[in-house]
Amino acid sequence: MRAYWSIALAGAAILAVTMGIRQTLGLFVSPLNSATGLGIVTVSFAMAVGQFVWGAAQPLFGAVADRVGSAKVIVSGALLLATGLAITPLVDTAFALVLFLGVLVAAGAGAGSFSILIGAAANRIAPEKRASASGFINAGGSFGQFAAPPIAQALIGAMGWVAALWSMAVAALATIPLAFAFRRTREESAAAQEPSRLGEQVRQAFRNRSYWCLHAGFFTCGFHIAFLVVHLPGEIGLCGLPASVSAASLAIIGLANIGGSLAAGWLGERHRMKWILFWMYFARAVAIAIYIASPKTPTTFYLFAAALGFTWLATVPPTAGIVGKLFGPRYLATLFGLTLLTHQVGGFLGAWLGGVAIAATGDYQWMWYADIALALLAAFANLPIREPESPRVATQPS
Query: Which domains can be identified in the chain, with CATH numbers?
Result: 2-181+199-384 (1.20.1250.20)
Report residue 121 CA to chain centroid gap. 17
Distance CA 213, CA 220 (A): 11
Report the 10 Å Cβ neighbour count for 41.
Answer: 17
Q: What is the pLDDT of residue 192?
A: 55
Mean pLDDT throughout 26-45? 84
pLDDT digits (tens, 9 = 90+) for 123-168: 777 776 777 777 888 888 888 878 888 888 889 989 999 999 999 9
Q: What is the pLDDT of residue 77?
A: 94
Closest residue by Cα to residue 6 from 71, 67, 63 = 71
- For residue 395, pLDDT over 70 is answered with no
Rounded (5°) CA angle 251-254-256:
110
DSSP per position, 161-225: HHHHHHHHHHHHHTHHHHGGGGPPPHHHHHHHTSPP-HHHHHHHHHT-HHHHHHHHHHHHHHHHH
Quick check: 387 and 276 in contact, CB under 8 A?
A: no
Quick check: 60 and 266 in contact, CB under 8 A?
A: no
pLDDT digits (tens, 9 = 90+) for 76-133: 999 999 999 999 999 989 999 999 999 999 999 999 988 888 888 877 777 767 777 7
- For residue 393, pLDDT over 50 is answered with no
Report the 10 Å Cβ neighbour count for 358.
Answer: 19
**Phi–psi pair at 331, nearest 5 degrees:** -115, 30
pLDDT band at 195, cuts 50/70/90?
Answer: low
- Percent of the chain surpassing pLDDT 70: 93
Distance CA 103, CA 105 (A): 6
- For residue 232, pLDDT over 90 is answered with no
Quick check: 12 and 66 in contact, CB under 8 A?
A: no
Report the 10 Å Cβ neighbour count for 380.
Answer: 14
- For residue 233, pLDDT over 60 is answered with yes
- For residue 194, pLDDT over 70 is answered with no
CA atoms within 13 A on the CB side of 380: 6
Q: What is the pLDDT of residue 189?
A: 55
Q: What is the pLDDT of residue 285?
A: 93
